[in-house]
Structure 1
Amino acid sequence: MASKMNGFARQGVIRDDNGNLIIPPTQRPDGTWRKAVRVKEGYIPQEEIPLYRSAGVQILEKKSQFVIPGLTKDDAEKLKLERQKQSQSDTPALNPVLKKKKSKKSKCKQTDVQSPGTSEQTELDSTKLTKCSTTSPNYSDKVNIEIPTDATVTNTENIDRQLKREHKRLLQIEEIEKKKQAGESLNKDQLIKLGHKQAVEQLIEQLTLLKTN
């Protein structure tokens, strides 16, 4: 090389014997060499030139450095750690609402501990409820069906009309029974009709006897 490079000026730039700033020659991947390049005073390599940022970008960057006005992220993190330490060292007082909830829970536990007689009565009541829920209700005692007498039924025509009506009612009840046996769920009205079956059958028997007499 023509000039001797002996003075380091900055990263990637050196000063030769003549005091000129140059970029020293570099070797390419294929083995050839790039020539030394002379640069001016104050030269900054391309990779070290800061990227241009608009005023809006700079404002956003400044805002991102602060959690609240006047408090940086580092200061906020320190403050958070101090508060956590303080909360761990202090035993917090119970909230009045939590106290009420705890007292209610304790009362519930006390009521659960019952005397033997009370527990037996509770078991009896529960078994009664279970029986009521599993067996079909018996509504025969609530049936408001009048049994005809000679005073209310004066002729055969009235008996025939009522017999036809009761036979129709009995057929409806038998249809409901088939649904129940098939596993279908019954509504309240169907359960009431199902409970009337025995009373309807008795009424048909009595009407039949009156008709034959």
Structure 2
Amino acid sequence: MSEVAKSGITTNAKTGERYIPASTRADGSKRKEIRVRPGYKPPEDVELYKNRAAAAWKTRARGGVPGAETVSSEEDKDKAPQITTPVAAPTTAASNKNAKRREAKRNAKDTDTAEAKGVDSNNWRAPPTRKEEPVPEPVAEPVDLEAENEKKARNLKKKLRQARDLREKREQGEGLLPEQLDKIIKIQELVRQLDALGFDSNGDKRAGESA
């Protein structure tokens, strides 16, 4: 049996000889058989290099995810594993009774633990109550009016002495600043404040005054 390549070269399977068989032209003339020298390979028979990665990238939208099996028919769908949701077992009277027993045992254990610690079992989680002690109200210290008046009188006496000294300097012809003149003007006001506190114009306590 002979093999025919894409270029039309025929290879004899028995002898291995390669040749182009005779043919008839369009005008009816005959072409002779042409022998092909060993080792010659026409461009038509040269296989092009194919990059598998590039081919897979070009056909990525056709074949889906590489390595994934798709369900192609109803038969395949039936063969595919079915995911079922577990159904809870129906509760019975026996299971309810067992659950109540377990709950009773837990409660009894908690009660014993609370009693061992000296805590009320009915409300063992509640913290012990603390009685709030009343906060004592601050007691106002008695005010010594006489001491307060003497303190105020000392300050007024000092200001009065400074003002009188400034007045003497002014009478002697010495120039004073505006704030110093203001102190001289307040001499009568200082005397009135001393009189209200029971002191004379010199800042001394008047005779017969008592607290």
- Would you call these one fold, judging by a TM-score over 0.5? no
So what's the TM-score if we normalise by structure 1? 0.27
Higher normalized contact order (CA 8 Å, seq sep 6+, divided by chain length): 1
- Return the structure number with greater helix share: 1
Q: Which has the larger radius of gyration?
A: 2
So what's the TM-score if we normalise by structure 2? 0.27
